[in-house]
Structure 1
Amino acid sequence: MEPDLGLLLNAIVSGLLLGGFYALATMGLTIAFGMLDVVNIAHPTFIILGAFATYLLSMQTGLDPVLACIILLPLFFLFGRYFYDLYYRLFERRGDSAISGLAFFFGILFVFEVSLSMLFGPEQRQIDVPYAWTSFSIGLVDFPLRMVVPCLLALAAFAAITAFFRFTFIGRAVAAVGQDEEALRFVGINPLRIKRLAFGLSLLMAGLAGGGLLLIQPVDPWSGHTFIGRVFAICILGGLASMRGTLVAALLFGVLENMTATYIGPAWSPAVAFGLLLLTLAVRPQGLFAR
């Protein structure tokens, strides 16, 4: 019985660690899609952009990828802030449909993938850090540091962004801007400025997730395709605009995916995980923690 128990416990813990990274990858989309109603289908591509930017800085300076990623976060924030200006001028200000915006982000996805491919080639890139293949054990359970570190990064980011939304005036304005712009104008807040800031935060989180991904697996310009369905499914499961919902949904998604891969086979894990999404939409279409 002990080997079976060990397999079960390791599958659950590995799923929770994987879910932690999924939460990190989805938090930025929760801001853009859930709070701003911007269907940023290119969000996983921005994660890959973060991974390659972290790779470059780390290789040039010898810094740990996590530290290199954190140093780059202000650049990702500024990039997101000005990128939203472009999106606003092209679509929101003119009142174009959401389909036009979605097509725009598909184009952005393609442009960045091709650009990364031309700059770095099709080869996969990864940074070998001393702890990447190190693990520690507690009882029957192994904790690989290459998964533990991104999960801890996710929990720290979750705590910081939750505190920002809950305890700061600007954070509460970001949380409210997608619900009632006119109410913000009544209290002297420019909704456009808040949306710029929010989208900057969204891409900041994407850059942070890129640094975490670089620890977990090699990346290439097309690695984002793996996460498009997952991050949108987690965002919807969590209730779109709820950070707590995003974290819980990501952990559930990671455990279910890993348990399925362990006991049935890796090929079935996406199908079972997305089956959870379909079941949730049928029973509770507003998601787990809808506002």
Structure 2
Amino acid sequence: MKIRSLAIASLFVLSAASAFAATITENFSTNPLQHGWQIFGDTNLFQWDSANQNLAVTWDSSQTNSYFYHPLGTTFTKADSFCVLFDLNLTDVNAKNYFQLAVGLCNFADATSTNFSRANGNSPNLFEFDYFPDGPLSYGPSIDATLIDTNSNFYFAFDASRPLANGMIYRVVLTHQAGASSISGQVFTNGQIFTSLPSIAAYGANDFRLDTLSINNYTTTDDIYGDSLLAHGTVDNLAFASPLPIDLVKTIAAGTIQFSSDTNWLYTLEQSADLNTWSVAAPALLGNGTNLILQATNLPADKSFYRVRADLP
């Protein structure tokens, strides 16, 4: 049986609930095209791997804008809280200049418009993870969480200090707090933080309209800068959730955390002495739709930091 662990959630203090409630989870144990997923554009770029139970993806910028996607069923805006989570495992990446592979949320009408151009900056209403591999004439690798509003204004958090290694499974968590004109992201390996995307670039992003969860192949056939990308890899354990699964967090005693929970999620208390290496501090509990209390079973003699991990069972 395939384990459906869908979130190493770096979520600790999260804001108010969304006006809508939605959860989409996909672990690729069965053919996703049979339960709501669709392909726009080049169908050869997205192949379900029934043996490994994941989605094999080719990001090839010489092809048209293409999407493996699932409608969210409603439109999410700046007023809503939500998160996107997935596993990414790259096999190979080849880039010229500066171009990205992407997974996240889009406005489907905008993303499929003939005027939409990620290469040239006409790409409104996106909330996505972007990876810009290193390559000839590039600026070096960059791992980004990108928000683009309805007027194509940008906000992104990024880490340009390191690449993603081929053959490594990375857990990506993207979060939007209700009312914010920003995005936050964290990337994990083996349950430990790889990067929290510490650098910020803000260029006037404001409200947005998002209605689709998607894996995105962007074209550079219209690129005026000569950029290109060819990459292969897999995406697995892909999820969208709104509202955010943790709210109203407070410490009620040493090693004891209380928060507002969601019935769709499984919660685990983790502890760390240095905010880098984390371990399980208490058995996991299912959310109850109201206040949930997690208590560390063994309090350390010295100080300890705590976080709540949320998983979709």
Global fold match (TM > 0.5)? no
TM range (shorter): under 0.3
More helix, by proportion: 1
Q: TM-score if structure 1 supplies the norm length? A: 0.21
More strand, by proportion: 2
Q: TM-score if structure 2 supplies the norm length? A: 0.20
